[in-house]
Chains A and B, each alone.
Chain A
Amino acid sequence: MENSINIDSILELKDVSVSYTPGKLAVNEVNAYFKPQTITAIMGPSGCGKSTLLRAINRMHELYPDIVTTGEILLKGQNIFKMNPMKVRRLAGMVFQRANPFPTMSIYGNVLAGYKLNNISLSKTEKDEIVEHSLRSVNLWEEVKDSLNKKGTFLSGGQQQRLCIARALALKPELLLMDEPTSALDPISTARIEEMLVELKDQYTIIIVTHNMSQAARISDNSMFMYLGELVEFGTTKQMFTKPKDKRTEDYLTGAFG
């Protein structure tokens, strides 16, 4: 199982393509690999396929029968398309653009939602431990510890998004996929989440889709630039922002389009 080729990559994409309608590729033969405990930012103008690529990694596209994904995605050396989709999704936690705490569950219940949905029974102490630990890792514990039984939807936008991150972390995933997690938030909430992501890097591998270049520059180790479904450039963030190899990347970073 661990006899993978590239021992220091946690995730490898091989010729990954995604199409919404037959013949039109939204993501075109992307190849990439991701090192553990790094933050990788995927950038690009809207409609370039960055979210589509991200959602291929936890097989989210399979919820919609018209979407076809081809190629290979290796998670710790294992082809995810040969695994059970539910297991893939547990190993690759996802945070969405709009915070989506479950409205019928309390804050406490939301953090444990992954266990509840997977029908895993836990003892009361295990539950308390997971809730506290997950909320602490998103710096939300101090703010909500006295109102754990309130509905998650009562929180502010930024708090809701951190709750959703805690919900994903509670399942102890290998990867954290984030789809423009701060695009709907104010600058202060955004800053808090960015801060937190840098702290989380010690334990998790994070892939974050963002249209905010300065965000990518602030927090990511590596950056990918996508344009019209193609992966144009992939390298360290520092290198990409200082010496982009491709003309299109340079145009994007200097604000020529997007």
Chain B
Amino acid sequence: MKDKIFRASLFVAACLIIILTASIVYGLVSQSLDAFSNFGFGFITSSEWDSRNDVYSALPFIMGTLLTSVLALLFCIPFSLSVSLFNGEYFRGHRASTILSSVVDLLAGVPSIVFGLWGFYTLRPLMVEMGVNEQGFGVLLSSIVLAIMIIPYASSLSAEFLAMVPNDLKEGAYSLGATRLEVIQRVSLPAAGSGIFAAYVLAFGRALGETMAVTMLIGNTNNIPHGLGDTGNTMASIIANQFGEAGGLKLSSLMAIGLLLFLITASINFIAKYIMKMVRQ
């Protein structure tokens, strides 16, 4: 009898997770219906955001999100790849790698809003000095901070996959007269390749959904950003910015943007998890 109740409660807990996820999806869809029925497909393709005339669309924010996240990914690669080689290849199992990886892990613990503050007070004046634009806000500033924020995610997973490359393979390459760099280029990186790729896809997914830091740094203008110095908004930052004062069609449009953001990050994560599953088999 006791066992039955116990087993039932385990099952109920699992079902709650299913119900929870289903209701999140249902909630997002039902709340955004209004926006989609009003603007149709144009919600995704037009670039107008006008509160006075109650006309809304998602394109500027989709573009803003993609632009900042892609740039962040590019900026983070030299650093996260170095960290993962340091931890997974050159200093695997050494004290030096323990220290580096724990400090980099701590970076992942810093709250988004603290990154935002640091970007605002420390990096923004630098942007102004460098002449990016008058205020310093914008795509470049946000993607630099985003890049720093995703380094831990990209590097720790990549290091794991690099460390998984069997020693026999590397020794095989050394025995043919390769240098360390050549072993890394021709054996370690190709062998860990798909895993590392998945790590970067996951990090990209992180960047897409980052909210506070970007909200504080991107400049919050509702246009499609065309360059590094441009201001804009991401999908996450427009929601954080405008949600408090929203109602009616605007609220529904923000929910629709939330739904789109959810779909994008979910598919990115799905791709990454799928690759990792294939690699681990």
Contact = CB atoms under 8 A, between A and B. Distances in A.
Interface stretch (A30-38, A89-97, A136-144): A89-97
B176 A171 contact: yes
A72 to B, nearest CB: 21
Majority SS at the chain B contact face: helix
B38 to A, nearest CB: 51
A86 B168 contact: no
Interface stretch (A3-11, A99-107, A248-256): A99-107
A87 B177 contact: yes
Contact of B176 (A98, A103, A117): A117
A60 B172 contact: no
Contacts of A164: 172
Given A100-B168, A100-B169, 8 more contacts: A89-B174, A96-B168, A102-B187, A117-B182, A117-B183, A117-B187, A119-B182, A171-B177
B42 to A, nearest CB: 46
Task: Give chain A's interface residue range (CB within 8 Å of chain B).
Answer: 20 to 34
Contacts, number: 71
A90 B177 contact: yes
Interface in A107-151: 113-114, 116-119
A220 interface: no
Given A98-B168, A103-B191, A113 B175 contact: no
B168 A118 contact: no
Interface in B153-207: 166, 168-179, 182-183, 186-187, 190-191, 193
Contact of B177 (A86, A98, A102, A103): A86
B171 A118 contact: no
Contact of A94 (B166, B175, B193): B175
Contacts of A60: 171, 174-175
Contacts of B190: 102, 104
Nearest to A95: B175
